Amino acid sequence: MTIFDLTEAQLRERRSLKWRTYAPEVLPLWVAEMDAAVQPTVRQEVVAALERGETGYPHGTDYADAYRTNAAARWNLQLDPGQVRRGGDVMNAILCVLERVTNPGDGIVITAPVYPPFWMVTSGYRRHTVAVDLTAEGRLDLDALEQAFAVENVTAFLLCSPHNPTGTVHTADELAAVAALADQHGVRVVVDEIHAWLVDPGTTFVPILGVPEARNAVVAISAGKSWNLAAFKAGLFVAGEGALDVLENLPPLATQSTGHLGSIAHAAALRDEQAWVDQVCVEVAANKQLLSDLLHALVPGAHYRQAPGTYLAWVDCTSLGLKNPTRHFEEVGRVAFSAGLNFSKAHGQWIRINLATSPKIITHAVERMATSLRRVTD
């Protein structure tokens, strides 16, 4: 089984954000969509539901139950039914939780650089963002986080695990330490684990609720990123044993905004398509090495440190001497990446590259980068 074997011509027939945002001659490796076909079981389940005319509202706990079963098998994470509730999508779930556990005027800590919507959900609704930089190695800076937690009116910490865009996979010790620090200062830990299944072979993802110190944490998760199901909006709230009151007091619409087809698709993926996502991880790991080799050979000024999480590559283009790397590569190289500036104001010279595609497309993208740089020096 090969996941990333679709041709560029096949992909350009798609009408999704990734393939329709830029001009047809631009090669898109930006937003986190996979260039993959739908998993067989998911397709069968959704088609069967449509043939039955199932375009109504969701019912029952099939999706939540599928997640609990998967989490137990995958990470030995044992969850009671009352700890899991369905929601809309992950960012919607996070917003609902943050509104529940913070008050107007409160500060919410994030670790930068980070997924752009984190800045949005922590700075709106009369809350404000408290940004703490990751270390140079992309890890949590526990001393800096403790200082941030100690500030008056800082009441929540929003963590991305695995981390987007750096690909860092937090260790059990790191998660235990940050959860303990948060508890000491009365800070609620809220975690986005949407990339949970996307780790390189040989790497262990640790769900935060798998560490005893995090019993007060709340997680937002879905199968959407790992199985490429963004079109089927369906998220889950997952609460630690000490955070069940958060689920009990969510606004009613928070748990009623799941799409019925989304629930069906996500449940099918979690139940029956683990081998599919395992193969994704194998191919993404190979693509990471391919990107590293290509950059070393063709764009040696671009610095990329491989990380074991996600299918996203975080690349430092500072040494290339470009005013705006993302714009340059789009306008001159005709290849689109995500701008580092969107993840942190300090990372305007960085780009994020989506590696959930074929080796051929990655190779073409780096070749276009190299050609665009030669045009600058000619």
Helix (H) or strand (E) holding 119: helix 116-123
Q: Which fold has domain 42-272?
A: Aspartate Aminotransferase; domain 2 (3.40.640)
Cβ neighbour number for residue 215 with a 10 Å cutoff: 14
The DSSP string of 22-39 is S-TTSEE--SS----PPP
Instruction: Output the pLDDT for position 306.
Output: 98
- Residue ranges of the chain whose pLDDT lies below 70: 377-378
Instruction: Output the pLDDT for position 296.
Output: 98
pLDDT digits (tens, 9 = 90+) for 34-90: 999 999 999 999 999 999 999 999 999 999 999 999 999 999 999 999 999 999 899
Range list for CATH 3.40.640.10 in the chain: 42-272
Instruction: Output the pLDDT for position 251.
Output: 86
Range list for CATH 3.90.1150.10 in the chain: 8-37+275-377
Is the Cα torsion angle 61, 229, 232, 245 positive or negative in sign?
positive
Instruction: Output the pLDDT for position 257.
Output: 85
The DSSP string of 285-307 is HHHHHHHHHHHHHH-TTSEE---
CA distance linking residue 177 with residue 79, whole number of Å: 22
Q: What does CATH list as the number for 8-37+275-377?
A: 3.90.1150.10
Instruction: Output the pLDDT for position 17.
Output: 98
